[in-house]
Structure 1
Amino acid sequence: MKNKTQKNRILINKEVYSKEITKKFLKDITEKILSELNLNNVEISITLTDNERIREINKEWRGKDKPTDVLSFPQDETIGYKYRLLGDVIISLPYAKAQAEEIGLTLREEVLRLLVHGILHLLGYDHETNEEDAKIMFDLQDKIFDKLTCEL
């Protein structure tokens, strides 16, 4: 039975297995992030992949022949009358796991952090252009992360 309060379309593609990071977890936490950003009636695609696949995508689209933690591909189109297509967020689960261990987060916390980061990029936030934009993006990212971490 579909949750009637869910107003967004969240598509999940898991190319890698994780008992801890389930499709339900990804949908629920993405819905909470979208709610924090006051976004309704949007469609977003979340893909969990491995380091090799994200390296290929990173090379093809950004010219960087190395794996990374998260990539975002904004769309910002309207689908028919119901959904605004935000775009795609791709996360390397092995990269996220290693990064989580390195910075002292759980895997769920790191996936949350990467989802927030990726979704902010879909909305046009950027941390690579200048320090002021980076501060705005990271402050909002931290605010959402801090609020939602307690719900994991």
Structure 2
Amino acid sequence: MNRILISKDIYDRHITKKFIRETAEKVLKELGLDSVELSITLTDDETIKEINRQWRKKDKPTDVLSFPIDEKPPGYRYRVLGDVVISLPYAKRQAEEIGIPYRDEVVRLLIHGILHLLGYDHEVCPAEAKKMFSLQDRIFEKLTSSRIQHQIP
């Protein structure tokens, strides 16, 4: 059993906490992870811009940020993976630009963020990027195709 903490700082009726929790559980299952803690924040462009500026020295909004912790405190039941922050307005624009459903883009960003928490980094070198995006695409296809097959909105 995993512990998934979700903070939703922005109203969006299409992306519910339940949808995010269920998606995160599926991603963790695909990665063979159990007894982990994951924090997910859904926010707006202004907030993610401030976080990006503060932690990455990039004064602009972005789609997703990850802050790995990856530790198991003594006596604590869960391995703490870290925090994923997603800008929902950014994700919505990005989905429109690339021509995929908004919810699918949020799924993709959540997978991407979780992979970063596990140490995957597409900015290190082309081989690492290929490894990360291959895994991301495999999980994304499995999650989004099963949703379509089962008529889950």
**TM-score, structure 1 as length reference:** 0.94
Q: Deviations over 1:33-74 (max 9, x none)?
A: 000000000000000000000000000000000000000000
Matched ranges for 1:81-120 at <5 A: 81-120=76-115
Q: Which residue of 2 aligns with 1:50?
A: 44
Amino acid at match of 2:80: L
Separation (CA, whole Å) in 2 of partners of 1:19 and 1:150: 22
Q: Deviations over 1:96-119 (max 9, x none)?
A: 000000011111100000000000
Amino acid at match of 2:114: I
How many residues in Structure 1 have an aligned counterpart in Structure 2? 146
Amino acid at match of 1:139: S
Matched ranges for 1:1-152 at <5 A: 7-79=1-73, 80-152=75-147
Separation (CA, whole Å) in 1 of partners of 2:88 and 2:117: 20
Structure 2 SS opposite 1:20 = coil
Separation (CA, whole Å) in 2 of partners of 1:37 and 1:28: 14
Tell me how far 1:150 sits from its aligned partner.
Answer: 2.0
Amino acid at match of 1:85: V
**TM-score, structure 2 as length reference:** 0.94
Gaps of 5+ in 1: 1-6
Amino acid at match of 2:35: N
Tell me how far 1:131 sits from its aligned partner.
Answer: 0.2
Amino acid at match of 1:48: L
Structure 2 SS opposite 1:66 = coil
Separation (CA, whole Å) in 2 of partners of 1:31 and 1:151: 14
Structure 2 SS opposite 1:125 = coil
Task: Give the root-mean-square deviation of aligned CA atoms.
Answer: 0.8
Separation (CA, whole Å) in 2 of partners of 1:36 and 1:117: 13
Q: Which residue of 2 aligns with 1:4?
A: none
Amino acid at match of 2:144: T
Moved beyond 6 Å, runs of 4+: none
Q: Percent identity?
A: 66
Tell me how far 1:151 sits from its aligned partner.
Answer: 3.4
Separation (CA, whole Å) in 1 of partners of 2:97 and 2:124: 26
Separation (CA, whole Å) in 2 of partners of 1:51 and 1:25: 21
